[in-house]
Amino acid sequence: MKKTALITGATSGIGRATAHVFAEHGINLILCGRRQHRLDSVQKALSRQTDVFTLNFDVRDRQKTEEAICSIPDEFKAIDILINNAGNAHGLDPIQSGNVDDWDAMMDINVKGLLYVSKAIIPGMTERKNGHIINVGSSAGKEVYPKGNVYCASKHAVLAITEGMRIDLNPYGIKVSAINPGLVETEFSEVRFKGGPEAENVYQGYKALQAEDIAEIIHFTVTRPSHVNLADVLVFPTAQANSVTVKKTN
Ligand code: NDP
Ligand code: 8X3
């Protein structure tokens, strides 16, 4: 029986790469994001391999999130796998000069958005006593780095929520995992620096993780036998030892 996965943030980076790997393995997909043209192009690319349904909503909008998930057609409704991936850093500033709009964006998307999506999907999982929730955290959820303040707080919250979900959903046999990457070369830094020149240096002088690396780990995680749960995975590029120690050639 084919499984169904809902992936948030499927228009770019880790989420899109995960959609590709899942499609290769015949997992049906519900792909979410705000950029409709990207949802359309990922759907077009993957529809030859699996069934794909797309949902356009902003995870910050609680009502739109509920409505979008309610609108999922019957053939996709039994969601086996939820990949809570949508999120970004907004800004890299000391706390004393941080931008409050950036703080709102990170807490509203990375934390509250993850909760809104989960709230809409968990009842189906508890009813079926089956499911796997993967929360994409970060090494920033385990370690605070200079100017990371609120982004790190949002990812620490993702880890706390992951642990809470694992405890509360334990009676239902639902797996809950956190995948926590270090530096991954995606559109992440373009978003963090709002398209500014700082983004150019982030992945230079070493081999950063690629979105496909994380997608493979996510696929490995969801294909373990039913008695095995990879609860918490921390993955760095080889050149990275922690948030501030990266061996660069230049
Ligand atoms: P990208 O910027 O490439 O992708 C972010 C995705 O999130 C996009 O698909 C975007 O879609 C979606 N998204 C952002 N805001 C919203 C929103 N308000 N509502 C709905 N969807 C939204 O970055 P990554 O792939 O790198 O990031 C994915 C996850 O991985 C994030 O949670 C990030 O924190 C985490 N991470 C990234 C690391 C890195 O170094 N790149 C390292 C560790 C963790 P759209 O704009 O179409 O809505
Ligand atoms: C993304 C990795 O180090 O920029 O979560 O916070 S980092």
Closest CA to 82 of 153, 162, 164: 162
Do the domain assignments include residue 10? yes
Distance (Å, rounded) from C-alpha 47 to C-alpha 232? 31
Which residues does a 6 A CB cutoff place in the pocket of ligand 2? 138-140, 148, 182-183, 243
pLDDT at 220 over 90: yes
Q: Dump pLDDT digits (tens) for 106-135.
A: 999 999 999 999 999 999 999 999 999 999
Q: How confident is the model at residue 74 (pLDDT cuts 50, 70, 90)?
A: very high
The answer as to whether 149 is a domain residue is yes
Q: Integer distance in angstroms from the first to the last C-alpha of the chain? A: 50
- Helices within the chain (DSSP H only): 13-24, 36-46, 62-70, 74-77, 100-106, 114-128, 149-168, 188-192, 211-222
pLDDT at 120: 98
Predicted pLDDT of residue 195: 96
The string of pLDDT tens digits covering residues 12-67 is 999 999 999 999 999 999 999 999 999 999 999 999 999 999 999 999 999 999 99
Give the predicted TM-score (pTM) of the model: 0.99
* 154 Cβ below 6 A of ligand 1: no
Q: Is residue 165 part of a domain?
A: yes
User: Which atom number of ligand 2 is nearest to the Cα of residue 155?
Assistant: 5
Residue-wise pLDDT tens digits, 134-177: 999 999 999 999 999 999 999 999 999 999 999 999 999 999 99
Domain annotation covers residue 247: no
Give the nearest ligand 2 atom to 140 CA. 6
- For residue 17, give its domain range: 4-236
In a domain, 248, yes or no: no
Of the pLDDT bands very low, low, confident and very high (cuts 50, 70, 90), residue 250 is low
Residue 246 lies inside a defined structural domain of this protein = no
Which CATH number does the domain housing residue 178 bear?
3.40.50.720
188 part of a folded domain: yes
pLDDT number for residue 32: 99
Counting the structural domains of the chain, the total is 1
Rg (CA), the chain: 17
Residue 243 belongs to a domain: no
